[in-house]
Amino acid sequence: MPRFHCPQRLGPGQTLDLPPEAAHHAARVLRLAVGDAVVLFNGEGGEYPAAITHIGKHNVTVKTGAWSERECESPLDVRLAQAVSAGDKMDFTLQKAVELGIRSIQPLLAERCVVKLAGERAEKRVQHWQGVVVSACEQSGRNRVPAVAPLKTLPNWLGEPNEAGLRLLLSPFAEHSLSELEHPAGPVTLLIGPEGGFSENEVKTAGSRGFTPVRLGARVLRTETAALAALAAMQARWGDF
């Protein structure tokens, strides 16, 4: 059943218009008709079954049914700190990370990042990434939308107060593998480097801020592969896989 994110207060028996992008997708891409069933969620948990009552040139109107508390969140709280990658790699990483249950996303600019973003360009890119996350939630059935934080440089982010929980940095040169770690008692922050990896100085700085280097086997993984492989492995060991 098609699912649409509606970032507003929702209630049973409510008549409302879908957001413009959702309306376009429903009417022009999926070619839904009046009477078709859909599901709405606002990102705060739970969902509402709804039915299309009107399709206009620029709007799609629906009426909600009773609230459902259905959730599919993973019990594992992982926050992804991902160095920005080039092309559509970043979109792919964030999309799949959401499908794998990530709770929040911090995009970072590291020394070896190919992409350079600042100012309005950076703000627009973050908005785009948030849209990618929303679409991934619609597709995967998640009713809670992970937030994409404003873009930061790695030094500035590392200089902020430490978050509680396990802090991991993926490195092919680490002494210990992910399989050697104990079940985390709290949240996990996963730090992933750019295409060229982190510099030696960045690794040292991260280590001084409580990050433990870990490896995923003996092979060097691409930035978009590393994050997803680590997330899948953690979900299998400690989550709901």
Q: How far is it, in rounded angstroms, from Cα 71 to Cα 106?
A: 24
Q: What is the pLDDT of residues 9-66, one digit of tens each?
A: 999 999 999 999 999 999 999 999 999 999 999 999 999 999 999 999 989 999 999 9
Q: How far is it, in rounded angstroms, from Cα 208 to Cα 200?
A: 13
Q: Which residues of 75-84 are buried (b: 16+ CB within 10 A; e: fewer)?
A: ebbbbbbbbb
Q: What is the pLDDT of residues 82-130, one digit of tens each?
A: 999 998 999 999 999 999 999 999 999 999 999 888 899 999 999 999 9
Please give the full DSSP string across the chain, using - where no structure is assigned.
--EEE--S---TT-EEEPPHHHHHIIIIIS---TT-EEEEE-SBS-BEEEEEEEE-SS-EEEEE---B------SS-EEEEEE--STTHHHHHHHHHHHTT--EEEEEE-TT-S----HHHHHHHHHHHHHHHHHHHHHHT-SBPPEEPPPEEHHHHHTSPPPSSEEEEE-TT-SSBGGGSPPPSS-EEEEE--TT---HHHHHHHHHTTPEEEB-SSSPPPHHHHHHHHHHHHHHHHS--
Mean pLDDT over 148-176 rounds to 93
pLDDT of residue 164: 83
- pTM here? 0.92
Task: For residue 152, give both structure tokens.
Answer: 């930061």
What is the pairing mode between strands 48-55 and 60-64? Answer: antiparallel
Of all residues in the chain, what percent carry a pLDDT higher than 70?
100
Give the confidence band of 162 by pLDDT, cuts at 50, 70, 90: confident
Q: Give Dmax (Cα) for the chain.
A: 60
Q: Rg of the chain's alpha carbons, rounded to an integer?
A: 20
